[in-house]
Chain A
Amino acid sequence: MLRFENVSKSYGSRSVLLDCTGRFAPGAYALRGPNGIGKSTLLRVLAGVDEADGGDIVIDGQSLRAQPAAAKSRLSYAPDECPVYPFVTGRELLAFVAWAKRCAIPDKVTRIVERFGLARHLDTRCGAMSLGTQKKLMLAAAWIGEPAVLLLDEPSNGLDADARAVLIDLLAAQRATSVVFMSTHDKAFADAIGAAVVEFETLTNS
């Protein structure tokens, strides 16, 4: 479902990713490594936010380079921060993501919104939300469009205990049908989901 081969990425003269290779079947995977090694960069490149300098990325059988729209319609990405329009409301963001993926907002997302306690924040602008609320919104949006691959950057950061438990529940269920590929320093969180640990260095040496 998620395959990438010889993926490289440099910023100027600084090489961040060098020949990263990985192949992942449905399941949960916790990407680990020291700060600044390139985990977030790898997720951004796999999500198509940053273009790889070289290599191939395949999402659910669709090449991100050759068919970016088809590949992106099969993935969801929740960054660590909230780099979305600060002036759109939560409701507008969800509607926008559904429009981009040419689908309706599924009932499942409505239930996730309720479970996260997001409903009362949906008419608040993203820029005025707390970090935890922004995080919940990005995570709820990740379930729009039946994604085959979920790329989550530090998904448990900033969540309260209840939301963390809800997220564990959701991801543990999702891993049966999708690839949940996340970077996290939260070992207890990864264990609760049943995620296999992937050391960042193993991707560059394989």
Chain B
Amino acid sequence: METAIASPLLRLRLRWYAVSTARLLLRRWQAIALATGVLASANASAFGNLDTFARPLLTLLAPGHGAAWRIGYLLALLLLAAAWAAMQREQIAGGPFMAFAGSLPFTPRQRRNADLAVLLLADSPLLLVAASALGLTAGRGAPAAHAVLLCDVALLALVAQRAVLERRHGAWPGVMAGALLAGACFGTRLALAANVLVGAAAVLALVLAPRPRAQRRAWRPRAQRARPLALGGRHGAALQVSVAILVRERRGELLAKSLSATAIVAAAIGLATLFERDTRSFPTVLLAAGCVALAFSGLFRGLHLAHRASMGYAGALPLPARWWRPFDLVVVLAAALPFLAALAAYAWAIGAAPPARVAAALVSNGALLCALRTPQLISDRHAVVLATLVAGCWTAATIACLL
């Protein structure tokens, strides 16, 4: 009887996830396919491509780093995995159907199993990275502790993702303790034992039902002073709408873009340091800025869809068609500007280019971000490819003009 009820639940959940994220998943796979093509065209072998995909995890195993670096890197990976799940929370959680299914007699275990199956599907692009890393590690005859550590990363990532999806903040200390232990014991004689221990604890956390939540104290609203109805600023009300879409509805996506941009900036600074801040540094910074603009341009789609969804009401207001365009541009630019400015400031600080060129690069990348709105909206299916082509051409032209 249990299976008879649970199986349709799982089927419906998987179907909902597939339907609600079909285009998004397609775009992720498109990005991976595009990256593969670019790498392959650079004379990289298939093995080399695997190595590139697995690099984020293989870096964790690289010797020459201290325990603090390894723990920090491991936590960053777990945070990225958590952000990945957070930005798909609605799709993974099962949508409005699950609000109804909450009244049906499913056991907590059935729910959690369905949750885990959908989460694994949602993680499929990330699992490619983990599988590549594991395959390469095994193929190169690395110590068993390394393979177990990679499994730990995947398991801890799942625990962290569950903590995010179920809003169980109490799970985070356990995740951090696992990362701390695995990172601190790397390269020591205790490494294998510590990794097995962390892995076993993570498996238990995934399999065992969590403790029921403690009852929360009822929240009593404090008396608020009456506020005027109008919002400040001439266009404050319209700008507020675009801000609200990003900060309230698309918070996970905004966070993911910010994390991606942070990783891009960090990678650019790392490469420039590797180049000993020579003449290659400025082109590296320009390429990174193009990537940041490309990453943030994805926000235009969510903003556009949210505006379109409200046209059943806003369409009756005396507003021009696509009135939201300037406000969306402002909020997306504001979100990307700290990262673009950080790259420009770094280029200026290391003397990679004269201040005028650094400023010109900043302006060019701001303009690129605005220009990417069109390719992001012009086609549902090929947004990633079109936007990447535009960003690539624009960045090449910027490099040609400024060098």
Contact = CB atoms under 8 A, between A and B. Distances in A.
B287 to A, nearest CB: 35
Contacts of B226: 119
A173 interface: no
Contact of B237 (A82, A84, A99, A113): A99
Contact of B248 (A69, A76, A125): A125
A105 B229 contact: yes
A67 to B, nearest CB: 10
Interface of B: 224, 226-227, 229-231, 235-238, 240-241, 244-245, 248-249, 306, 309-320, 323
A99 B237 CA distance: 6
A95 B249 contact: no
A119 B221 CA distance: 14
5 contacts: A44-B312, A49-B315, A69-B319, A69-B320, A84-B313
A96 B313 contact: no
Contacts of A97: 317
A79 interface: yes
A82 B231 CA distance: 22
Interface string A38-69: 00000010011110000000000000000011
A119 B320 CA distance: 30
A73 B318 contact: yes
Contacts of A122: 229
Given A95-B230, A96-B238, A105-B229, A87 B315 contact: no
A87 B245 contact: yes
Contacts of B244: 85, 87-88, 92
Contact of B229 (A47, A86, A91, A138): A91
Given A77-B313, A83-B313, A91-B229, A100 B248 contact: no
Contacts of A75: 316
A47 B316 contact: yes
A110 B226 CA distance: 11
Q: How large is the interface on A (under 10, 10 to 19, 20 to 34, 35 or more residues)?
A: 35 or more
Given A85-B306, A92-B237, A95-B231, 9 more contacts: A48-B315, A68-B318, A71-B318, A77-B313, A86-B249, A96-B237, A99-B236, A99-B237, A101-B317
Contacts of B241: 85, 88, 92, 96
A72 interface: yes
B318 A69 contact: yes
A63 to B, nearest CB: 13
A102 B319 CA distance: 10
Contacts of A82: 313
B320 A49 contact: no
Contacts of A72: 316-319
A79 B237 contact: no
A87 B248 contact: yes
A25 interface: no
A95 B226 CA distance: 15
Given A69-B318, A125-B248, A79 B229 contact: no
Given A69-B319, A85-B241, A100-B319, A95 B229 contact: yes
B53 to A, nearest CB: 36
Interface in A113-131: 113, 119, 122-123, 125
A159 interface: no
Given A79-B313, A95-B231, A109-B229, A87 B249 contact: yes
B371 to A, nearest CB: 26
Contacts of B313: 49, 77, 79, 82-84, 138
A91 B237 CA distance: 10
B238 A49 contact: no
Given A47-B315, A49-B312, A88 B229 contact: no
A104 interface: yes
Which has the most chain A C-beta neighbours within 10 Å: B231, B235, B318?
A: B318
A48 B249 CA distance: 27
Contact of A77 (B224, B249, B316): B316
A48 B313 CA distance: 10
